[in-house]
Structure 1
Amino acid sequence: MAPAWRFTEDEQDVVTELMNMGVGRAAASFSRLVDDEVVLSVPLVRLADMSEAEAAFAASVPEVLAGVMQSFEGLITGSAALLFPGERSLELVRAVIGEDMPAEEISELEQETLAEIGNIILNSCLATIANVLKTELHSSLPEPYHAGRAGLTRLLGGNDSIIMLVQIDFSLKSRNLEGYLAFVIDLRSAEAFRSAIAEYLEELSG
């Protein structure tokens, strides 16, 4: 028997669509922040246990990461992280606060700016999940993360958790950046998450 978190193809499609809706909402807010069109897309969503997630991180996530993390609770309980390649995070910050600011000042504002970006994107995704699945999710304030990918899964959660790794492509001005969303879901709430998605699919087909 498959674990509760092993979604069917239809359920996986719903999760991908929820993420696309969430980052679509975030793109509108992000566009206002940088005063330019921002296009965000979700090319890939993967669900994995901790060992599978570590292998996925090793294969696709850069060695050095910068971003933010926050916890959430409700229908699903866990934590979420928005991560960027460490060497590219300053590019994203520069897009928000402007090209003319000296490099040392940009570095000082990096964590604050990434927290603001993370707040927009993470909360847009969580709010979309809550709205579509007719439930409530409450999240903490984002906290900065700047470290290597080694041990990231242990920082995010333990062996009683699953990882939903969401790759995001950013397109703004002349920049094409890649970021990652990692939602760590407590296994005890994974079945409730699946049940809510199944109910949503029933409503669509009814």
Structure 2
Amino acid sequence: MKAYKENIIQDIVGELGNVGIGSAATSLSSLLGRQILTTTSQVNIIDEQTFIQWKDAYEQTIGILFPLEKELNGFALFLMDEKNIREDIASIHGIDEQSENDEVLEVLMEISSILISSYLSAVASYSNLHLKIRQPAISRDMKESIINEALSNMLMLDDEAIYLIHSLKISHTYDLILMLSRKSILQVLTYLEVRE
């Protein structure tokens, strides 16, 4: 397999991420009837500092973990502060902030599924890749638990993985993190005929 410089790998992953998040924001904006603001991709290598950096950024968290398969392997992790996402769902759907967890989580799963599906559909269309999302896992837990689960799953798949982070703002800001296998990324670069 062809070797690529790290900056080339991260630039291409970032470009794919920007395509994906733009489409996801458009879909969410149509669904929710309000503007969705996003950031450009921040790309880096997963290392021993990643867990420390991520867990310091979150308190009580809801996380939804989407396994990715086919020509791009890894996980998508949507992280939300529970109090903030309850407020946003209440304002969008007229649900009381103190509603039963099942009702809130049902709306949240719908929003998250549209977000991830739109993201990956745009990436697949842009790159002609075949991508698949497996059944997501949802967790309501303290930050260390869900982040540790995501990173552990990723590092079991590939100990040289990279990640990219996007922030999305409804009323509050949430993070979408993609953790991708380096091997699958290198295969994508070869498939796209990327040159140094």
Q: TM-score if structure 1 supplies the norm length?
A: 0.76
Aligned pairs, number: 189
Superposed CA offset, 1:160-186 (max 9, x none): 33351413131x4xx2x2222233334
Aligned to 1:16: 14
Aligned to 1:47: 45
Asked if the contact 1:130–1:137 (Cα under 8 Å) also holds between the matched residues in 2, the reply is yes
Which whole-Å CA distance do the structure 1 matches of 2:7 and 2:104 have between them?
39
Instruction: Provide the aligned C-alpha RMSD in A.
Output: 2.8
**Compared CA separation, residues 13 and 159, structure 1 to 2 (3 A):** closer
Say whether 1:88 aligns with 2:81. no
Deviates more, 1:19-28 or 1:152-161: 152-161
Deviating above 6 A after TM superposition, structure 1's stretches of 4 or more consecutive aligned residues are none
Q: TM-score if structure 2 supplies the norm length?
A: 0.80
SS at match of 2:107: helix
Aligned to 1:132: 126
Cα offset for 1:153?
A: 4.3
1:56-205 matches, cutoff 5 A: 56-59=53-56, 61-98=57-94, 101-105=95-99, 107-156=101-150, 157=153, 159-160=155-156, 161=158, 162=161, 164-170=163-169, 172=170, 175=171, 177-186=172-181, 190-197=182-189, 199-200=191-192, 202=194
Asked if the contact 1:78–1:183 (Cα under 8 Å) also holds between the matched residues in 2, the reply is yes
Which whole-Å CA distance do the structure 2 matches of 1:138 and 1:129 have between them?
12
Deviates more, 1:125-134 or 1:101-110: 101-110
Identity %: 20
Identify unmatched segments of 5+ residues in structure 2: none
SS at match of 1:89: helix
Instruction: Report the residue type matching 2:143 in the other structure.
Output: R
**Compared CA separation, residues 194 and 129, structure 1 to 2 (3 A):** farther
By percentage of residues, which structure has more strand?
A: 1
Identify unmatched segments of 5+ residues in structure 1: none
SS at match of 1:42: coil
Which whole-Å CA distance do the structure 1 matches of 2:129 and 2:162 have between them?
21
SS at match of 1:88: helix
Asked if the contact 1:82–1:180 (Cα under 8 Å) also holds between the matched residues in 2, the reply is yes
Which whole-Å CA distance do the structure 1 matches of 2:60 and 2:104 have between them?
15
